[in-house]
Structure 1
């Protein structure tokens, strides 16, 4: 056997064992998200007193950075503590945006509309992140606007630790929050509503969350306090889902619960962990039920521990969620903020976060990752960022489909509008069905589906002009394929066009 043949067999055996597969795999659909935290100006804006142009520049810096990394979703905190990052009938302007709570920002346009528009221009989803129950961030109540619910509805509040919380046990609180959800879904072109892990607050030793009066008033006969609290959160989730879908069925609803549902020491169904608190027993949240009932479109548990941490192994927890997934898009929340900033030495290794991404990609039930938070990679750890881009995110990826129950729409009807030295312009008919146009390099014969490596462009369709403008510089060769994404993320069947031929035809369908 020749030496060259032996080497060939060696490399083939490595490939067949899967050593290279996860790094070489280029999934066409994979959620790649980042949380942009606004509370106490963690990520954006850097300062509430910054002028509008500075805030715009800083937001675009975040978008552009993650676009270059081939991310496809941002989860932007638009309600941090009973406030709003948009004009609202139900909450004052956030001081984290304007420097003074209740003060209107000095933007010349609607700031949230602008943020969503700039995000979509880059082919990135915008998920509006709301904190349902945190009413105040600290005990500095003097900074609150007189229109804040703490001032106008003190009966809704429960003081716990150094914060105030909306009482989840009050029906009027849940009704109020439904109005908040309806307002933002009706007004803005968002892709999703997103909740984090703050339901009932994390427990503080020897401190009582005093909801005894609400429990006495609203609990069912023989219902325990714990079950009643969980039923309150279930009601919030169910009603939020109903509200969203009644207004815009394509808008997703996602929740990012604390990473450990239960330890197996208290429930054999739980994970092999020793978490000090759990999402079911301490935060009174039951994400397994939400998946079973179809109340969420995606779940993104916050698994912020390192791969082999003994008390809470990232690997074990991720596999537990995959095993317990129930027909829901499942993403993993990753603690990028811990890189070289944690007592756990595993986070000093530049491959810790990439290996977590790799693990998620290897498990069929998991469809992507979300990192907390934006500044963790934006301003720090360039070696980690370069490694992720080179090994895992070298190609773009489409987000997972939000609605898998229905067939995608038919390919759009197009009419050639005009062409010049730089662009080919089409008018799209029935454009309200579609959000983006995609184009791929192609041969003469159309394929049923094109791999992500063939994708040359993704462009937001202008709802008003109905014009699709494709740069000729993005069209490699004479043949190219067009397809479209509807608002559920479903892709139409592609159609192949010939660049030279279409310039001599009046229309193409």
Structure 2
């Protein structure tokens, strides 16, 4: 434990800002935590919400964020135009009351205009502490199960039901088909530990008795239900848009199944200085190692919400363990980090803790694919962490970064920018290459091509990136119209960057 607890990584010796890195931010809509600050269905409220959202996204972009995890289904509801679930009361004030605009469309449009990815964040099973009763809720009510402990209740979709998994797939398919999203991400709401006994008191007991295999414990049966749901969604997404939509899950920060995978070479947590057991395996029936092992996710974003000097579960040891396991199974690891402490301690010392964690992610990642997802947006782009976004950009996210490529997809095809031209007004234009994004570079004339190449990744170094754009045009700032060589590369939806075309 001593090798990780209390670790200090001086910022002056930081790992260089990498060309490929997930730089995500969770944007929470439940309870209006990050957005929106006001609810209602009127045009005036909608305009206020849109202005707030635009401002948040612009500030995230200034801080160096390249992917926004936008919560669109907090509690079996929708912040988008859904055929399956009611409009969210967190948006309009009343569950089921329609909004006069589509927040997901707005978020995607603004993210893409700023060159950022937009991932639709979905809570897969949670309904809430109260059983809602809109017309769309009535349709799915038979899929719910409610467990009670004393006077407390929690209702979730029953993961044991085939109909629940179909419903979840239908929701994800509709979002993936109807919206130009870059990813879908689940959080860690599976079964609920406080409300889920493993005996005849459980709301799903009769389903276990009817469906479990001979000798299968209720815990194993529940884990199998969650695993099937993850597998079904991943299989479905592989058939939509040629599998270009990135799928990830953000589980709790400690995993490992308490030694279940030791015989397969998965390292033990104590060898990384972590002495806390994996509670998610036994309490919410979540088994992230299985999802990585079976190739059911493109990335894992474990919620490592502890500091680098924590003695029982230090950030460094957990980041290294997760990265090692993800690498073992050929997938990406982008740890989630909490910055909620800024609400009470918004100081440079506290910021440095976050910076050290990002640097540790970089040190422990493989194949030029580090990443971090910060919880949450209001501490980067809102009033709760003033100054942090600017410091994040200046100290850690100095140069732009591309989200790491999903090379295991195997469906990417060669792309090339053609017809590149520059008008007298400074407008770059080119011909579309499939549905790719593009990276625009400006290389000083006194830097030759060899020296402009990235030393830690393929292609041109990220210090020369001017913009990532989803359009086939870009207005070149006046200072780059002379004395620079301009290049544009296709950057496909799998995250693979192709060869540059020079002006």
The TM-score, its normalising length taken from structure 1, stands at 0.84
3-state SS of 1:339 partner = helix
Q: Does residue 1:113 correspond to 2:105, yes or no?
A: yes
Aligned to 1:460: 470
Deviates more, 1:176-185 or 1:276-285: 276-285
**How far is 1:265 from its partner?**
8.8
Aligned to 1:84: 78
Q: Does residue 1:229 correspond to 2:222, yes or no?
A: yes
> Following the alignment from structure 2 to structure 1, what is the Cα–Cα distance between the partners of residues 231 and 100?
37
**How far is 1:496 from its partner?**
2.3
- Assess, with a 3 A threshold, how the Cα gap between structure 1 residues 458 and 150 changes in structure 2: closer, same or farther: same
Aligned ranges 1:443-458 → 2 under 5 Å: 443=445, 446=449, 449-458=459-468
The TM-score, its normalising length taken from structure 2, stands at 0.85
**How far is 1:292 from its partner?**
1.5
Aligned ranges 1:333-482 → 2 under 5 Å: 333-339=336-342, 341=344, 349-365=350-366, 367-377=370-380, 378-404=382-408, 406=410, 409-415=413-419, 419-426=423-430, 428-429=431-432, 431-441=433-443, 443=445, 446=449, 449-461=459-471, 467-471=472-476, 473=478, 474-482=480-488
> Following the alignment from structure 1 to structure 2, what is the Cα–Cα distance between the partners of residues 277 and 255?
17
Aligned to 1:102: 96
Q: Does residue 1:495 correspond to 2:501, yes or no?
A: yes
Q: Does residue 1:146 correspond to 2:140, yes or no?
A: no
Aligned to 2:322: 321
Deviates more, 1:162-171 or 1:146-155: 146-155
8 Å Cα contact 2:15/2:363 also seen in 1 = no
8 Å Cα contact 2:306/2:313 also seen in 1 = yes
- Assess, with a 3 A threshold, how the Cα gap between structure 1 residues 446 and 277 changes in structure 2: closer, same or farther: closer
- Assess, with a 3 A threshold, how the Cα gap between structure 1 residues 154 and 64 changes in structure 2: closer, same or farther: same
2:173 aligned to 179, 182, 192, which one? 182
8 Å Cα contact 2:59/2:389 also seen in 1 = no
User: Highest relative contact order (Cα 8 Å, sep 6+), 1 or 2?
Assistant: 2
3-state SS of 1:51 partner = helix
1:211 aligned to 200, 204, 217, which one? 204
Q: Does residue 1:289 correspond to 2:285, yes or no?
A: no
The structure number with the bigger radius of gyration is 1
- Assess, with a 3 A threshold, how the Cα gap between structure 1 residues 275 and 40 changes in structure 2: closer, same or farther: farther
Aligned to 1:239: 232
1:407-430, Cα deviation, whole Å (9 max, x unpaired):
96445242256723332333x05x
- Assess, with a 3 A threshold, how the Cα gap between structure 1 residues 412 and 152 changes in structure 2: closer, same or farther: closer
**How far is 1:388 from its partner?**
2.5
- Assess, with a 3 A threshold, how the Cα gap between structure 1 residues 492 and 277 changes in structure 2: closer, same or farther: closer
Aligned ranges 1:28-43 → 2 under 5 Å: 28-43=19-34
> Following the alignment from structure 2 to structure 1, what is the Cα–Cα distance between the partners of residues 145 and 374?
31
**How far is 1:404 from its partner?**
4.5
Aligned to 1:501: none
**How far is 1:281 from its partner?**
1.7
> Following the alignment from structure 1 to structure 2, what is the Cα–Cα distance between the partners of residues 364 and 435?
25
Deviates more, 1:155-164 or 1:195-204: 155-164
- Assess, with a 3 A threshold, how the Cα gap between structure 1 residues 191 and 209 changes in structure 2: closer, same or farther: farther
3-state SS of 1:334 partner = strand
- The answer for unaligned runs of 5 or more in structure 2 is 1-8, 454-458
- Assess, with a 3 A threshold, how the Cα gap between structure 1 residues 89 and 220 changes in structure 2: closer, same or farther: same
Aligned to 1:503: none
- Assess, with a 3 A threshold, how the Cα gap between structure 1 residues 100 and 191 changes in structure 2: closer, same or farther: same
Aligned to 2:306: 305
Deviates more, 1:54-63 or 1:379-388: 379-388
**How far is 1:132 from its partner?**
1.0
- The answer for unaligned runs of 5 or more in structure 1 is 1-17, 462-466, 498-509
**How far is 1:284 from its partner?**
1.0
> Following the alignment from structure 1 to structure 2, what is the Cα–Cα distance between the partners of residues 219 and 260?
27
